[in-house]
Amino acid sequence: MLDIRRISSSRWWHKKKSLIFFGVFLFLVFVRITKGSLYKDFFYFISKPFWPGQFQKEIILKSIDQESLIKLNLLKKDNIRLRKILFLQQSSNDDNISAAVISRKTGGWWRQIILNKGSKDGVEIGSIVTGPGGLLGRVNNTSLFTSSVILLTSPESKLAVWVDRSQINGLLVGSGDNYPSLILYSKDADIKVGDFVSSSPASSLLPPNIPIGIVQSIDETLQSKKTAKISLLAKPHVIDWVQILKVNI
């Protein structure tokens, strides 16, 4: 009886060894076929907390962020200093005034909006007015409680602007319709439909880099200059709230 048990136990052990060897063989075949990808993925997750350079990477990224912030602050200071030297306007976001549009004349010849903030609120003639999208115009008249804004579409509006792609200056003139004209005093001026237009860095009336519009069409029929129609980003006929930018010389 004992011999039978020993034989049965021996067979079971040999069968178990065969299954183990067969399992190891299948595993090795699988590793071979997958080229060790399973092992690599497993090792990836196991070793991740111990990777060299993670701490150094965080330090480097933090240093880069600090460097970028310092450079940005230096550029802002240089911009303010240079604009003061050149007697150009600069805006102060801390002193911006929010105002509501209480009346508008955006069609016909007279194109202006009236705001619910006036001289008692610190609004001055010449202040810049922006809305969602960009520049709307400039304050041309104030009362104690209100201010009038001449829109960029008004024939009274004439502003120096900047074509971003080609980095050239031009003159934006209102023409009494929804598309003011951009005048470039060079027949060879590099301008294309879709070019972005903003306030000029050389303007004595506006702070730089205020979004204005996009070139809609170009007229090259004139011999001495090139003109273009500008689609404005800020739409005065649908804007109810604006920002009045107080400017300092």
Same domain, 202 and 151: yes
Same domain, 124 and 157: yes
Average pLDDT over residues 197-223: 86
**Cα 214 to chain center, whole Å?**
15
What pTM value is reported for the model? 0.62
Where is average pLDDT lowest: 86-90, 128-132, 187-191? 86-90
Over the range 206-244, which residues count as b (16 or more CB within 10 Å of their CB) and which as e? bbbebbbbebeebeeeeeeebbbbbbbbbebeebeebbb
Locate 97 and state its tokens: 């005034």
Q: Given a cut of 70, is residue 97 above it in pLDDT?
A: yes
Task: Please provide residue 85's backbone torsions phi and psi, each rounded to the nearest 5 degrees.
Answer: -60, -40
Task: List the beta bridge partners of residue 145.
Answer: none
Give me the amino acid identity at 26. L
Of the three residues 32, 66, 85, the one that is the final residue of a domain is 85
Element (H, E) at 240: none
Same domain, 193 and 229: yes
Same domain, 132 and 28: no
By DSSP bridging, strand 158-163 and strand 168-173 are antiparallel
Average pLDDT score, the chain: 78
Number of domains in the chain: 3
Same domain, 34 and 57: no
How far apart are alpha carbons 193 and 230 in whole angstroms?
9
- Which CATH number covers residue 198? 2.40.10.340
The domain in which residue 74 lies consists of 52-85
First to last CA, the chain: 112
Q: What is the pLDDT of residue 124?
A: 92
Same domain, 215 and 198: yes
Q: What is the pLDDT of residue 84?
A: 59
Average pLDDT over residues 142-161: 92
Instruction: Give the residue ranges of DSSP H helices in 48-191.
Output: 54-85
Same domain, 98 and 188: yes
Q: What is the pLDDT of residue 69?
A: 72
Higher-confidence residue of 80 and 209: namely: 209
Same domain, 75 and 45: no
Element (H, E) at 21: helix 2-34
Same domain, 141 and 234: yes
Maximum C-alpha span of the chain? 119
